[in-house]
């Protein structure tokens, strides 16, 4: 449990004791044992009376999902926590369907390094890498067939997340699907193989949590480490479009939706 969660637990205990004393004073017979205050009632009281804003809270309990929130990273970039939480199971099912037609594979970089993240794509074009370079290809080089079409649910989610971040009428051409297992990582990089240099990248996290690295416009700038969880969406475009970003090596774990993996959907406007 991190420090914020420990503080929340301590705060919760204080609230519980305080509310229990208040209720005993008002309604209990002298000497009678006060009835315990239900956990949900205490959480609602904390939120309703603004004692701790939902945005500032880390989960008091693992099974208490937080309401969605929007965290500004910098001009043109936001982290929408929990934005896709409700759709996450359906998105993971779509990924499994796409991967049947276009299987996950470990691409090789132009420098000859095999990436630890496994990738596939859906949409009008897909991002690929081999010894000749990086490119967007209308066909999957592994099968020669077009990439699977982008599901309507992907398009709607990407467009509404982009709109929430201030980018109206987002119409992505490609969705790169990344699959991480323990130890997989993505080094600091810029997404710069797209012609559109303003439209945002919309990046959806599903399954195991990860540490998303958020740097600056130069590789040498300081890097923030942001914990991202299933259902979180990062959006960056406009003045933030070329910020360096990456993913720290994934920690071991098991998630109800994805097992030992983290899935990331990265939407791009290519043309």
Ligand X SMILES: O=C(O)CCC(=O)C(=O)O
Buried b (16+ CB within 10 A) or exposed e, 126-139: bbbbeeeeeebeee
Q: At what angle do helices 3-27 and 39-48 cross, to 10 degrees?
A: 100
**Token pair of 24, please?**
């005993």
Could you tell which of ligand X, Mn ion, none binds residue 264, using a CB distance below 5 to 8 A set by kind?
Answer: ligand X
- Residue among 42 and 77 whose Cβ is closer to ligand X: 77
CA dist 39 and 80 (Å) reads: 27
Give the position of tokens 């910020």: 243
User: Nearest residue by C-beta to Mn ion?
Assistant: 191
Nearest distance from residue 119's CB to Mn ion, in Å? 11
- Residue among 42 and 118 whose Cβ is closer to ligand X: 118
Binding of residue 193 to Mn ion (CB under 5 A): no
By the 8 A CB rule, do 238 and 199 touch? no
Nearest distance from residue 92's CB to Mn ion, in Å? 21
The residue range among 2-10, 23-31, 78-86, 187-195 that interacts with Mn ion, by the rule CB under 5 A, is: 187-195
Nearest distance from residue 115's CB to Mn ion, in Å? 12
- Residue among 74 and 191 whose Cβ is closer to Mn ion: 191
Can you state the percent helix, strand and coil of the chain, rounding each to 5?
25, 30, 45
- Residue among 10 and 108 whose Cβ is closer to ligand X: 108
| Residue 46, helix vs strand vs coil | helix
| All residues at 6 or more sequence positions from 169 whose CB lies less than 8 Å from its CB, including other chains | 159
Nearest distance from residue 268's CB to Mn ion, in Å? 9
Instruction: Give φ, ψ of 28 to 5 degrees.
Output: -90, 150
Could you tell which of ligand X, Mn ion, none binds residue 269, using a CB distance below 5 to 8 A set by kind?
Answer: none
Binding of residue 247 to ligand X (CB under 6 A): yes
Binding of residue 191 to Mn ion (CB under 5 A): yes
**Token pair of 21, please?**
């004393």
Which of 245, 250, 261, 269 binds ligand X (CB under 6 A)? It is 245
Binding of residue 196 to Mn ion (CB under 5 A): no
Gyration radius of the chain's alpha carbons:
22
Given the rule CB under 6 A, which residues bind ligand X? Answer: 176, 178, 186, 191, 203, 212, 245, 247, 264, 266
């Amino acid at each position: 449990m991190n420090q914020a969660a420990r503080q929340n637990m301590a705060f919760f205990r204080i609230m519980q004791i305080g509310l229990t004393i208040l209720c005993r004073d008002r309604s209990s017979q002298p000497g009678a044992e006060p009835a315990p205050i239900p956990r949900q009632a205490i959480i609602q009281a904390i939120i309703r009376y603004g004692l701790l804003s939902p945005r500032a809270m880390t989960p008091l309990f693992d099974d208490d999902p937080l309401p969605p929130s929007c965290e500004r990273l910098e001009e043109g970039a936001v982290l929408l926590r929990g934005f896709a939480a409700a759709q996450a199971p359906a998105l993971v099912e779509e990924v499994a369907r796409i991967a049947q037609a276009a299987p996950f594979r470990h691409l090789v970089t132009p420098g000859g390094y095999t990436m630890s993240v496994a990738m596939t794509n859906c949409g009008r074009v897909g991002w690929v890498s081999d010894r000749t370079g990086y490119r967007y290809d209308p066909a999957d080089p592994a099968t020669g067939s077009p990439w699977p079409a982008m599901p309507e649910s992907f398009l709607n989610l990407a467009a509404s997340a982009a709109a929430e971040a201030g980018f109206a009428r987002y119409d992505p051409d490609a969705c790169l699907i990344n699959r991480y297992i323990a130890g997989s990582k993505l080094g600091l990089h810029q997404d710069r193989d797209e012609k559109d240099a303003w439209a945002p990248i919309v990046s959806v996290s599903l399954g195991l949590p990860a540490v998303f690295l958020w740097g600056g416009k130069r590789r040498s700038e300081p890097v923030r480490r942001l914990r991202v969880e299933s259902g979180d969406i990062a959006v960056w475009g406009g003045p933030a479009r070329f910020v360096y970003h990456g993913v720290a090596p994934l920690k071991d774990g098991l998630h109800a939706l994805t097992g030992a993996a983290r899935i990331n959907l990265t939407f791009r406007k290519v043309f």
